[in-house]
Structure 1
Amino acid sequence: MTAPYPTLEQMGITSFDSISRYRLRREARADVLKVYYHRPSGSFLSRSKKFTFARPRANVPVEFQKTDAWHQLEDTSPILRQALVELHALLQPAEAPAEDNTSAQATKQQLLADLEHMERVMKDKLDELRRQIDALK
């Protein structure tokens, strides 16, 4: 029996029903995919997983670099492309068109949740650093 999302499974993602969203960004010469999960309060499981995919480059003369055509020669990883297709298919029902007011409210709630999560992470990190400093005394 084949897995419903073989690329995601190959990447180590198995909790398909817990995925809430994903983000893709570019850092230098790599694409970074971050997958976020729904987790209950107090869970020890991570709220996200980060995957980095190097961007392959074609060999071209040096004088050709720094042009727009140079940047078009870089391409995304085929594994990343397939993972994005699977994530989109997995989250498609959750992305059904909704009323504008509901969509704006959902976005606001998500931003507030992200802000609260970031505040908790920063507080925990600051507490950890303070403990490490106290241990050095």
Structure 2
Amino acid sequence: MNKYEALSDMGIQNPQEISKYTLRQEGHGDVLKIYYKRKKGSFLPNSRKYKFGRSIKTVLTDGGKQEFEDIYEISPFLLKAVAELDSIVKQKHESIDRKQELLDEIDHLEKVFANKLAELRDKVKEI
């Protein structure tokens, strides 16, 4: 079973290359644009658009007047794809945050180490 079924059904074979996405409404449909972080020299596109139709649902607007209104609902498949995209993008941001945390800790340790070495050198000079 594929971890990203909706994305796989859309033809996305390398979800690990997804960097971000945008979603907008266009008329009575939705446009999902997925951006990729490709390796240098790749012939694959850096982004790809997917269009989804909206389903029409007729609802009663006012119970007393028997007036109806058409409402366009987002595709359940698109909702599933967006949830999968959110999990991919979130994982990437979490790993970037963790990487930055570790780099900050390394910088701090380098400063502490440099200060301690300077302190020891000063003590050696005093002897």
- Contact 2:52/2:75 (8 A) holds in 1: yes
Aligned equivalents of 1:40, 1:7: Cα separation in 2: 24
Report deviation, 1:60. Answer: 5.7
Q: Secondary structure at the match of 1:4?
A: coil
As a proportion of its length, which structure holds more strand? 2
| Structure 1: unaligned runs, 5 residues or longer | 103-137
| Structure 2: unaligned runs, 5 residues or longer | 61-66, 101-127
Report deviation, 1:95. Answer: 2.9
- Contact 2:35/2:46 (8 A) holds in 1: yes
- Letter matched to residue 53 of structure 2: A
Aligned equivalents of 2:15, 2:42: Cα separation in 1: 17
Q: Which residue of 2 aligns with 1:47?
A: 46
As a proportion of its length, which structure holds more helix? 1
Q: Which residue of 2 aligns with 1:35?
A: 34
Q: 9-18 or 41-50: which moved more?
A: 41-50
Q: Secondary structure at the match of 2:73?
A: coil
Q: Which residue of 2 aligns with 1:25?
A: 24
Q: Which residue of 2 aligns with 1:113?
A: none
Aligned equivalents of 2:16, 2:36: Cα separation in 1: 9
Aligned equivalents of 2:58, 2:87: Cα separation in 1: 35
- For each residue in 1:70-92, what CA deviation from the matched residue of structure 2 results, as whole angstroms up to 9, or x when unmatched? 5xx22100000000000111111
Q: Secondary structure at the match of 2:31?
A: strand
- Contact 2:58/2:68 (8 A) holds in 1: no
Q: Which residue of 1 aligns with 2:86?
A: 88
Deviation >6 Å, runs of 4+: none
Report deviation, 1:64. Answer: 4.4
Pairs within 5 Å for 1:110-129:
none
- The alignment's TM-score, normalised by the length of structure 2, stands at 0.63
Q: Which one has a bigger Cα radius of gyration?
A: 2
Give % identity.
38
Q: Which residue of 2 aligns with 1:58?
A: 57
- The alignment's TM-score, normalised by the length of structure 1, stands at 0.58
